[in-house]
Amino acid sequence: MTQIKRIVILTGAGISAESGIDTFRSAGGLWEQHRVEDVATPEGFARNPDLVLNFYDMRRAALADVVPNAAHMALARLQREFAGEVLLVTQNVDDLHERGGSGQVLHMHGELKSALCTACGTRSRWEGAMIERPPCPVCAAPCLRPDVVWFGEMPYEMGRIYQALEACDLFVSIGTSGAVYPAAGFVEEARRAGARTLELNLEPSEGSRLFHESRLGKASVIVPEWVEEVLGG
């Protein structure tokens, strides 16, 4: 087997599930509790901003009650100890990778603890609520929205991500259903570049057959096992 020098890891809601954050598409998940068209599209925000601001205010506040699990910590260890490059890309808007010790994380779908000003376009760190229409810290307009990527919007960092996929030897997808593009297409990009591809998930994702290998189980178990294998072998 050729030596692995560059790893790209994509994570989804499944990696934070055991920390107590709801996934989207599981039974009882966020999309069973809310209509996706209402809370995760620009049109839904324009129709009913209070509903959307409240949805994200609640999720932002709930971050105070959760902690990273063994999977987040294992990936942070991999970033610290692996001799080559590890790019961690997450679709998650929580901050559990950072709190688990990961240094560099690309949040392609934005972050709960960030605000986007629709007046001046500035992205600012944001811990509090938005429902009362606080002023933008830069331009003072009361025009903040959650800095998350809704359906129909362009995800962040796509240039850097595609560049890394083109150059990687190993692509690993963790805890994502593979239902949302462009992230769902990363496995094919990586394969085109000649990388080996591995899926770590509770159940086979929609694109499971596209991976060279699929390991099923809880992220808190199978991610640390895989990291140990990479660092030990």
Nearer to ligand BJW, 153 or 228 (CB): 153
Which of 34, 107, 109, 212 is an active site residue? 109
13 binds ligand BJW (CB under 6 A): yes
User: CB–CB of 31/151 below 8 Å?
Assistant: no
β strands within the chain, DSSP E: 6-11, 85-90, 105-107, 110-117, 123-125, 144-148, 170-174, 196-201, 213-216
97 labelled catalytic? no
Q: Which of the stretches 44-52, 73-81, 180-188, 224-232 binds ligand BJW when contact is defined by CB under 6 A?
A: 180-188
Quote the least distance from Cβ 129 to ligand BJW, whole Å. Answer: 16
Beta bridge partners of 133: none
Helix (H, G, I), strand (E, B) or coil at 127: coil
Q: Which of 194, 43, 52, 60 is nearest to 126 (CA)?
A: 60
Among 10, 14, 116, 187, binds ligand BJW (CB under 6 A): 14
How far apart CA 142 and CA 149 sit, in angstroms, is: 20
180 binds ligand BJW (CB under 6 A): yes
Subset of 115-144 contacting ligand BJW (CB under 6 A): none
By DSSP bridging, strand 144-148 and strand 110-117 are antiparallel
Encoded one letter per residue, x for contact with ligand BJW by CB under 6 A and - for no contact, window 149-168 reads: xxxxxxx--x----------
Amino acid in position 223: V
Nearer to ligand BJW, 50 or 83 (CB): 50
Catalytically annotated residues: 109
Chain residues in the site for ligand BJW (CB under 6 A): 12-14, 17-18, 23-26, 29, 40, 91, 93, 109, 148-155, 158, 175-177, 179-182, 201-203, 205, 218-219
